[in-house]
Structure 1
């Protein structure tokens, strides 16, 4: 019999798979964020003229990212919490909460359940390969979360890989893109780039006449 925690992981896979088209609908917004990141990277914060452009870009980034956060990131966190697969604020719980019921799964299931397990594996792989690539890179939550989810699901499905293709090994890496890190890993309230104060000029020391 499939344990309850594994059933919850399968329900989470169903949720992600059902949202593929919804996530794809934000492809244009992800591209705009990437373009803004490239523009921002080429500006100099201490330059008077670039500073104004940076403020405008940061404001635009904040508005666009808030849409991604409310439409994608927060619902994923809420679903993970609802299904009790982990504490989204402590990503390591994704492994710690589920590994014990996964380790002996292949000894507890019947043939009909195996078909369901393989189907869930295919659903997750389909999600990972068809959701927008930037979903897994352009924020500070998804890269770590999906790395851990990939890891626990690879462990779950490893004994149900009929053709031994190691499909999880070929999944794209989940890493924050370097040129986007500077603003996606900051608090959205602190996106403005401030020109640092210039050090005060030291006054020359007066020589005391002998």
Structure 2
């Protein structure tokens, strides 16, 4: 018999599958339209020219209007379903999806019954079909689907008969780089690819061997442990997020637009997520520079 926590995950898959046709036919085209509008908006310079300011405000209003159905028909129902099924507790980063279900998944993998296998396979195919056929975060659920994919992969990877990565077609790809500059170059080159850049902490901040004198010119590198690595991730359609900390455990996600935060725009969480997802590299750069400055001050004391 399928345990209650696992069945709740399967019930959520049924919910997604039941709405998939409407999502694909009605809301994916709307998401594409919003992406194009957002691209047009970020090409404008509203602080420098009155014509750009007028066009910017016009596009902003169109985006706000067209985004409302995404909030009402996608974000609100999906997050409500996650809470109803006790899959998610309501945190902004959606990490509670993993924290609330990983133990049940591990237990199920240890204690499943033979009759459970066909059920698991059915729901695995449903989830993979949904993610492959939609292959989107609907502009407002990137954190949610990132953690959902991790959670379901933990379960479904156990129940497969080959070494093939069944999540490959929609899974975020990680590219190892040696510096923020290299990540930035890759980000600008591959804006529309579903990729993330991993920069080992030791490559950003290294402990100095000698303390320089006041008149000595030197490059100072310091070391600060903030988990395993900086990950500039989930970059899709020029979107990104930064994950700091141990993988699959403590994570902090921070995003701002690559054009800066627009203080004139006010919106609810889904629209903020849409605007802020463009960002990861700027956050990583600021964190690294701030850390170096602080360590230089500390070493000079």
CA drift at 1:61: 0.4
Count of matched residue positions in the alignment of Structure 1 and Structure 2: 187
- 1:138 and 1:177 in contact (8 A); partners too: no
Say which one has the larger Rg.
1
| Higher percent of residues as strand | 2
- 1:2 and 1:108 in contact (8 A); partners too: no
Match of 1:48 in 2: 50
- 2:31 and 2:138 in contact (8 A); partners too: no
Which moved further from structure 2: 52-61 or 104-113? Answer: 104-113
1:1-210 mapped onto 2 (5 Å cutoff): 1-24=1-24, 25-46=26-47, 47-90=49-92, 91-131=94-134, 133=135, 135-136=136-137, 138-139=139-140, 142-173=141-172, 174-175=234-235, 177-178=237-238, 182=257, 187-188=266-267
Using a 3 Å threshold, how does the CA distance of structure 1 residues 110 and 177 change in structure 2: closer, same or farther?
A: same
In angstroms, what is the RMSD of aligned CA positions?
Answer: 2.6
Q: List gaps (5 residues or longer) in structure 1.
A: 192-210
Which moved further from structure 2: 160-169 or 92-101? Answer: 160-169
Indicate the SS of the match to 2:32.
Answer: helix
Q: TM-score, normalised by structure 2?
A: 0.57
Q: List gaps (5 residues or longer) in structure 2.
A: 173-233, 241-255, 273-301
- 1:137 and 1:176 in contact (8 A); partners too: no
Q: TM-score, normalised by structure 1?
A: 0.80
C-alpha distance in 1 between matches for 2:165 and 2:120 = 16
Indicate the SS of the match to 2:161.
Answer: coil
Match of 2:285 in 1: none
C-alpha distance in 2 between matches for 1:107 and 1:89 = 29
